[in-house]
Structure 1
Amino acid sequence: MTDFYKCSICGKIVKVIAAGKGQLVCCGEPMTVLSTFKSVQEVLDFAIEKEEEARQFYLEWSNKLENKALREQFVEFAGEENQHKEKLQRVKSGSTFKPSAKQVTDLKIVDYLVDIVPTPDMDYQEALIVAMRREKASFKFYNDLAAMAEDEPMRETFLALAQEEAKHKLRLETWYEKEIYTEN
């Protein structure tokens, strides 16, 4: 199917569009090849693993954040990432999902923020930026998978998952706008 690379520092995933001679770099480090997917099952296994990583990220950071409301939001996101994982497991068994007809607003806040390398001592603002970037990367990942899907039910399933990630990003951007922009 195609090659995907992942940053070992921030977790960003990119799809190779055209192979060149250079090396892919993110956060100052070479990116590692994730896989050349040969089947839909391999894609689904990878996506399940990715959702588990996202769940772990939110749980880990929910324990580190001082802001109670954001901490609760991260715990909620962890639960939603687990639901995505369960959906993908059902897809492996033959289920499909359809995206909502309603479009998710993109505030594009994260598009204008500097990249943050996740560290154990990240502050509140940095944790929000990392989370927004992760959700944006997940959205793009599922959209890329939808574009590569060979059948309509699988395409719609990936679009539905992309939409879920877009909702997370919107909630985080709204939170960022309320908590960070209004403070500055």
Structure 2
Amino acid sequence: MSEMNTFEDAIRFAINHEEEEAKFYEGMAKRSTSEDQKKAMLAHADEEYDHKRRLEAILANKRLPVSSRITADPDMKVAEMLVVKDRGGNIGYEDALILAAKREKQASRFYRALADTAPNPELAEIFSFLAEQEAKHGKQIEQKYDDAQREG
């Protein structure tokens, strides 16, 4: 990881991360075993691209929008208990959700660790915001997993 000492460094890092996550979801869509799964993965990709656009706007404005600050519960216990089954090239919807939830949890923890060790309050605020966004996304994915379990 490159050194992040400035506001711009932190936001650029986050923008790159969100783009990587969007591409991950696009890749999962290509591996989907159903049209519904493909649509869900592409919707997650769209959310990550939305995060990227919001971060780009933050970079342009050089501040966090107050309306975007949320309080999210980062305790995603379901993601800790689940195991992704390797099925080769294609991946089932529930397995895709498990993998996605784990990635979101990992991203939230990563951003939280960066917030806790940030060299100044401005960077801490940025990374806390990102950790909350990833935690919220993870909770949404876990809810989809729970719904799929009830339906299945």
Higher relative contact order (CA 8 A, sep 6+): 2
Give the Cα separation in 2 of the matches to 1:109 and 1:96. 30
1:48-106 superposed Cα distances (whole Å, 9 cap, x missing partner): 21111101111222233234444323222212211222233233331224522x43374
* Alignment: residue pair count: 148
Give the Cα separation in 1 of the matches to 2:125 and 2:86. 33
- CA RMSD of superposed structures (Å): 2.7
- Structure 1: which 5+ runs fail to align? 1-34
Matches within 5 A, 1:154-165: 154-165=123-134
Partner of 1:178: 147
1:139 lines up with 2:108 in the alignment: yes
1:37 lines up with 2:6 in the alignment: no
Matches within 5 A, 1:96-107: 96-98=64-66, 99-100=69-70, 102-104=71-73, 106-107=75-76
Partner of 1:89: 56
- Structure 2: which 5+ runs fail to align? none
**TM-score normalised by structure 2 residue count:** 0.78
Deviation at 1:126, TM superposition (A): 2.3
Give the Cα separation in 2 of the matches to 1:39 and 1:111. 32
Query: Equivalent pairs: percent with the same residue?
Result: 28
Contact 2:22 2:48 in 1 (8 A): yes
1:46 lines up with 2:13 in the alignment: yes
Give the Cα separation in 1 of the matches to 2:29 and 2:63. 31
Give the Cα separation in 2 of the matches to 1:135 and 1:37. 23
**TM-score normalised by structure 1 residue count:** 0.66
Q: 1:123 to 1:76 in 2, by over 3 A?
A: closer
- Bigger shift: 140-149 or 113-122? 113-122
Give the Cα separation in 1 of the matches to 2:57 and 2:81. 37
Which amino acid in the other structure matches residue 62 of structure 1?
Answer: A
Partner of 1:60: 27
- Bigger shift: 49-58 or 62-71? 62-71
